[in-house]
Structure 1
Amino acid sequence: MRFLAHRVDRQYAATIERVDAAVEAATRIVEGKARGCVGPVEVAVSTSTGMWELVVEAHRPMFGRQDAEVWQRDRNAFGTTTITRSGVLVVVNAQACKGKAVEIDKTLLHELTHALQFNRRGARDLIERSIANNYGITPMSEREARAANRQVDKDEREAARMERHHRLLAQSIA
């Protein structure tokens, strides 16, 4: 697991430290509760804008695109997860999480659950097709898009349920 801080000021030092301290324990909790493997993952802490820049940079070698506007939807999102050429990228939004240890913990659990989901059989292929569709490279049929959206909804529900283990995470790093 690789950890990095991307374009963050000193004012976010506590958020960076919390993520760094909690990421290993959060990974163990997610893998134990969801019975799977997070796999190769890079965890980053960034600003609201930097978060989406990291997503675009992760996609460039795979899709040849750099269109950040495709992804800059929610500047208040606590985090995001996407595939990379070598695994998965999890990004925690330092601005949204600043001073909120509980939200940092919930975000790590939520986003690491997505990392685990992306390692399930067939998931990576579906995500690649969805991203190629979003970039306008290879359109999906309406049926494929509906199926992909149903899977996203199912994955979001599972990741949201994982957030309830934030107290367990806090205890494990205390």
Structure 2
Amino acid sequence: MRFITHRIGRQYQATADRVHAGVDAAIAIVEKSARGRVGSLEVAVTNTAGMWETVVAAHEPLFGRRKSKEWRRNEGSPFGTTTVTSVGVLVVINAQTCRGRTVEIDKTLLHEITHAVQFNRPGARDLLMRSLSNNYGLTAMTTAEAAAANRQVDTDEREAERMERHHRQLAKSLA
């Protein structure tokens, strides 16, 4: 596991420290509950703007794209995001949104690591790669393929949201 900080000022250091301290325990909780493995993992802590820069930089070797405006993202400031990289999975935690919210840091870490496990399941990485390739405008998905990908995203999100309930267990392991 590789830990990265990007665009982190002093005001976000406590968030970065909490993520760094909790990542191994969160992995253990998620792998046990989700019955899967995280695999090769990078964890980055950054601010809102840095989130999308980090994701796009991770995608460049995969898709040859560097323009952040091509990355279709949710509006607002999410707590975190997870994506595939050329060597595994990247979890990005938004220190700006999580700042001073220990419970949210823990929930976000569990949520995003759940996605890392999901992306290592058979066929999941290929489906995500096709979906991202579609989002970057490189290869189009059929309507049926896009619908199937969206259903999988919804299923994965529900599982990741359920995993957040383990935040007290994570906090206890860090006490």
Same fold (TM over 0.5): yes
The C-alpha deviation readout for 1:141-174, integer Å capped at 9, x for no partner, is 0000000000000000000000000000000111
Q: Work out whether residues 38 and 119 of structure 1, in 8 Å CA contact, stay in contact via their aligned partners in 2.
A: yes
Computed over aligned residues only, the root mean square deviation of the Cα atoms, in angstroms, reads 0.8
Q: Work out whether residues 52 and 71 of structure 1, in 8 Å CA contact, stay in contact via their aligned partners in 2.
A: no
TM-score (norm 2): 0.98
Matched, 1:150 2:151: yes
Structure 2 residue aligned with 1:80: 81
For residues 89-104 of structure 1, the aligned pairs below 5 Å read 89-104=90-105
Q: 1:58, CA displacement in angstroms?
A: 0.3
Q: 1:72, CA displacement in angstroms?
A: 3.9
Structure 2, unaligned stretches of length 5 or more?
none
Structure 2 residue aligned with 1:26: 26
SS of aligned partner of 1:17:
helix
For residues 32-47 of structure 1, the aligned pairs below 5 Å read 32-47=32-47
Q: 1:71, CA displacement in angstroms?
A: 3.2
Q: Distance in 1 between matches of 2:73 and 2:82?
A: 13
Structure 1, unaligned stretches of length 5 or more?
none
Q: 1:73, CA displacement in angstroms?
A: 2.8
Q: Work out whether residues 22 and 173 of structure 1, in 8 Å CA contact, stay in contact via their aligned partners in 2.
A: yes
SS of aligned partner of 2:43:
strand
Structure 1 residue aligned with 2:64: 64
SS of aligned partner of 2:22:
helix
Q: Which amino acid aligns with 1:68?
A: S
Q: Which amino acid aligns with 1:172?
A: S
Q: Which amino acid aligns with 1:4?
A: I
- The runs of 4+ residues in structure 1 deviating greater than 6 Å are none
SS of aligned partner of 1:43:
strand
Q: 1:4, CA displacement in angstroms?
A: 1.1
Q: Work out whether residues 79 and 97 of structure 2, in 8 Å CA contact, stay in contact via their aligned partners in 1.
A: yes
Q: Distance in 1 between matches of 2:67 and 2:140?
A: 16
Q: Work out whether residues 72 and 135 of structure 2, in 8 Å CA contact, stay in contact via their aligned partners in 1.
A: no
Aligned length: 174
SS of aligned partner of 1:81:
strand
Q: Distance in 1 between matches of 2:99 and 2:3?
A: 18
